[in-house]
Amino acid sequence: MSRAKLAVLAAITVVTAAHVGSPDTYFEGAAGPYPVRVIVRSPGVVPGQAEIIVRLLAPIRITRVLVLPVFWDPRTAAPPPPERARPVPGDSTLFRGTLWLMRSGAYGVEVTLEGDRGSGVVLVPVQAVATRRRSLPMPLGLLLAALGVLLIAGAVTLVGAAARESALAPGQSPDRRGRQKGRAAMAVSVLVFWLALAGGRAWWRAVDRAYLSGLYRPRAVRTTVTAVRGTRVLRVAFVDSATDARAWSPLVPDHDHLVHLFLVRDSSLAAFAHLHPLPVDSTTFETRLPPLGPGHYRLYGDVVHETGFSETLTGTFDLEGPQTSWQPTDSDDAWLSTSTPDTATRALLPDGSTLIWERARPLVVNEDAALRFMLLGPDQRPATLEPYMGMAGHLMLTRTDGAVFVHLHPAGTISVGALETFLHRERGDTVTGTLARRLAAEPPGHPMPAFGPELVFPYAFPQPGRYRLWVEVKRAGKILTGVFDATVAPGSP
């Protein structure tokens, strides 16, 4: 890998995975010498125009900000010239721009900053998927309908005039036969235009149905729970048919794991687990379940494909009966069973330490929340955080009804696995599985130093409602989980 690619990767030491019901991309890190926060607001349609917001997080003068979307497939044509993000009046640290996402799939958005410290570049993986159909505004629809009626009326009139008068000498008036010929031509033209409109409507409905059938939805997985020597084993199959298998592309490691699996007890949210199953084959994974209580569970599985496309797969399963013993499938596995948080802003952890949520203001939809936490040791003094899968911490949040689920890290909502697919991909990687095998052969990341006591997760809640948050940190070799509840208010209309 080139020095430039290593520099980009080194600039991003903490990142996150995919999301359900949270369409926008959030990133916080460094573009060379410039600390930045980047937000890419999804258009929701493909092709579509995404909004990109770049905020400088230090008082450094910037002269130009460029943004460029690069599609994952090396066989595509060269990308267009970069677009310029314009400064927002009244705020010298904020820049806004737009960029077109023309195809469904994974993009790497290159953000280039030029200023007093030279030039700096950062790559932000973005998933371009169509999730909705935009409706035509009623006033515009009525205007287009009126113009269409006028256009057809004019065309019918022209056809009648041409049939009635085109063979007459200048100044000569049409006779009775000519007028009948004109009326007959107009009748035929009305029929032709009606058939053309009917055919166009049928074609448009077919296109609309095809578009709706192609809207992205989180892939549902097939789950099976069995008992093996007194321990419950969860098997997760990511494809159900030969068609799915042909569409499924190889997975690449994300923080040294092919799958990050999250289990949440439905309705009560009283149990939570973060597991890392092992592969049975390329589309099936297994993990030993911790001693979770009986009930109905939601399942979310974060994966990254070798195309750079990261997604969260969803499913459900039921547990019956107790289980007392557990041997983790992976040393990074963790779980928690609790009915309610300790308080709105403080969570007492099993080792006697305390995790504090420093909530500065109420949470509002689509407003940057900057979820900020502080870890205090049993002596109530700031405590050191150990790296947990190379990061200072993890935050998982869900709306109580499951409409939103997201897995956050202090750099936002991008996947390091997706980033690595862009940094390692070569133009010869056109055979399925080539890049995945090379990434799987990469050695694990180097040991990282300890982090300070503070955690900050950039994010904006996409929907109003009640949420539960699980914050995972590591201290003295133990994975500790704090639980918090929050209510997100609707944004201003």
The reported pTM is: 0.84
Write the CB contacts of 98 (distance below 8 Å, at least 6 apart in sequence). Answer: 49, 50, 51, 52, 83
User: From edge to edge, which strands make up the β-sheet containing 310-319?
Assistant: 310-319, 295-304, 260-265, 271-275, 334-337
pLDDT at residue 18 in the model: 43
Q: In what order do the strands lie in the sheet with 284-288?
A: 222-228, 231-237, 284-288, 278-279
pLDDT for 15 equals 32
pLDDT at residue number 471: 95
Dihedral sign of CA atoms 381, 382, 387, 388 in order: positive
Helix residue ranges, H only, 44-175: 138-165
Beta strands of 186-240 (E only): which ranges? 222-228, 231-237
Q: State how far the Cα of 88 lies from the Cα of 85, in Å rounded to an integer.
A: 9
Q: What is the mean pLDDT for each group of 10 consecutive residues in the chain (493 residues)?
A: 40 42 87 94 91 93 94 80 93 93 92 94 92 87 92 91 83 82 90 93 91 82 87 89 70 91 91 95 93 92 92 91 83 86 85 91 87 93 90 92 90 87 84 86 68 89 93 93 93 71
Q: What share of the chain is helix, strand, coil (3-state, %, to 5)?
A: 20, 40, 40
Using a 10 angstrom Cβ sphere, with 0-12 exposed, 13-18 middle and 19 or more buried, the burial of residue 253 is middle
Q: Say which amino acid occupies 4.
A: A
CA distance 173 to 244: 70
Within 10 A of 111 (CB to CB), how many other CB atoms are there? 25
